Structure 1
Amino acid sequence: MPRQTSRDLRNESRFEVLHALFTLGPSTRQEIAKHTGLSTATVATLVTQFLAEGVLRIATVEQNTVGRPYERLTIDPDRGRILGIDVAETYVDATVYDVTLGPLGHGEVALDEHENDTEYVVNGIVRAIEAAVEASGTERERIIGAGVSMPGQVRPDAGVSVFAPNWDWHDVRIEELLEQRLGISVYVDNPLKAVALSEMWFGVGRVTKSMAVVNLGTGVGAGIAIDGTLLRGSANNAGEWGHTLLQLDGRQCRCGRRGCVEAYLGVHGLEMSLAEIAPKHPALRQPLQRGFVDAVAEGLVADDPALVELARRTSHYLAAALGDLVNLLNIPHITLTGWTTAALADWLIPAVREELPDHVLPGSLPGLAVEASRVPGNPVALGMAAFTLERFLGDLGLASPASTPPPRRRLRAPA
């Protein structure tokens, strides 16, 4: 582990100030110092830098009964506009945010999950962005950058989609393709990193610095933060929990192995489980993944016995796989996110909580929490917007080393 430099410590302190304002809202320098544990002198210096760059503004000036008036500071939402885009195998979801990461406009485009042509996917991304920009009333010159999450293995430092198994993509220079179409700076990353960052900024990261954010959808995986630092691995591939082993010589996984967690907890895995339980169940006739998951949720509400058994088996698989994650990392908090979670959380999470002690070492059980994410909106899009904001602040000399790779190019300052 490289030794932290004085610059690293200054950068971390800057983000402590910024995160305090995200958490507290308009605050005085003294309130920020108390929340962060930084000295009042350090906070005063950093606030001066933020004010000079237009990232903060003075919200109000208030008068004490005695002494000098004091200022309440806030992040300036009008410093620019940021795009956060969640690209999955079945949809593109785009949101325009202000610099406080408040949503201003949204656009969504459905993708044919059986279509994998690069131009088709890029066109879908552009159409979703155009819809979001129009809905927000944003002028293009005000956009300071776009963060785009791509499924599979992504190299943010090179702007490359290394491998997207469902599309059979290999080394697609997706960042370059999007910048050519959009005319703005683009940052690409993996959705597991995005959901972890959104949880660090706006979810359980406000009460814990170590967590796993488990995404359930077409694929499954975990975004991981340890002691407040996002875990990336040497090739940005950390968190591929979905391709760890659940059953030796088990079901075929799309990665090429057998018995992966994803082969039991991804949507195709749920379809395979239901086919084992009731091969002619009408839910299996749904042509699209989202239609299948919606049918399962509706059937659970109606106490369909085959789907109740599917939920039981799925929660059993999930508890065992999460137990391995806890035993490996000794993390105190697991948050579930993703569109499968949104549909099935009411059935899966209580059963997982009940069974998880059977799979976790006793020393890791005290304080262990499992819950659905409370991050508002789309956590992937929000996380990608947060990455883009970090890169913009890095361009101003206000970067955080805790989550983003070194930037490759400057983001444009809004006119």
Structure 2
Amino acid sequence: MTHPADLSATEAAARIAAGTLSPAALAEACLERAAARDATVRAFAALEPARVRRAVAGALPGPLHGLPVGVKDVLDTADLPSQYGSPIWSGHRPRSDAAAVALARRAGGVVQGKTVTTEFATRHPGPTTNPHDPARTPGGSSQGSAAGVAAGFFPLAFGTQTAGSVLRPAAYCGITGFKPSFGLIHRAGMKVMSESLDTIGVFGRGAADCALFAGALTGLDLSAAAHAAPRIALCFGPGEAVLSGDSRARIEEVAAACARAGARVTPFALTAPLLAAVEAHPVVMNAETAHALAWERATARALISPVLNERLDWAESLPVSALIEGRAAFAAARAAFRDLMADHDILLTASAPSEAPLGIAATGDPACNALWTALHGPCISLPAGTGAAGMPLGVQLVAPFGADAALLGWARWVERAIGG
């Protein structure tokens, strides 16, 4: 029988509803797993078992009733520190929850703890390691959330994405990560860096988990599975130049499995407007982050990592027009993508260039994700076997803005097609 800490969120919810698993037993199983493994994984930025037990006792009825949730430490929590991965904010305790956290609690979720983020959800990593191999990165910036779901510390977790911070760690850790359409999950109470890009997303152990979690936060019914075969656009870019051989082969294998199951698969080439958005992404991301961290840079620059200061210095050296032009490039690319996808249901591409790299001093390359984040549509990373080193690989599905329910339904179809 599956250990409670290894249950998917949907399986755990069904057992709780049936009375065969109590929220208290699930929380204790997850706490025991964290006690056994977190000294190595280091997913938690804050974990207080006594608070978890009190929260379980007071969990509200709802679609997430009794389900433990990890909260990335760029989302405020009233009962735990919110330190944003920065010594500048050490010990900070907000008065209120972020909107997303409050909505999770209202739906019956139990905040299990705060999870490690890179500095301000940007570049400088925290101490988290990959649960499959502690010598490798779990990805970033949502590193603690992805690693925690993979390790069995909680079945659901919040992440955020500005370039590839949900999709890439999901792929590296062998779980499912869903970045919804921009703005679908409210950002109030989030330490926002890039106004044009930052999106709150979710992690689970499959597409159904992500649909359950995102649906509970938004009130939308995202649970329907697709039954007819989709029309799939197969795209190896924009990270094609950095794809490992086994990553490319796995995308081709997934495409072939979908075709055997009845999908129509056709090649998709990046057009000039999409390539312009790729070039604009670092300009917009870093220029907006420089604005967001104006206070920190003015009052505590020495406590910001050199790598982040260097990128923000670069952004501030650009003409003001560069940011305006970058946002315009994003808008043009979004319109172009919607037109290009008129004859397709979903786009299939890589979640990450390769398996998780060795070392935890960096979190990997977001080349496979940044464009799709800029387009504001929903994206999901699904586990898709392992690579040459035996580490997880993922594939990414993308849809135009607003097609969240459809994408999640197609994701469940793809899971079945590839045996997930």
TM-score between the two structures when normalised by the length of structure 1: 0.30
Larger radius of gyration: 1
Q: Please state which structure has a larger fraction of its residues in strand.
A: 1
TM-score between the two structures when normalised by the length of structure 2: 0.29
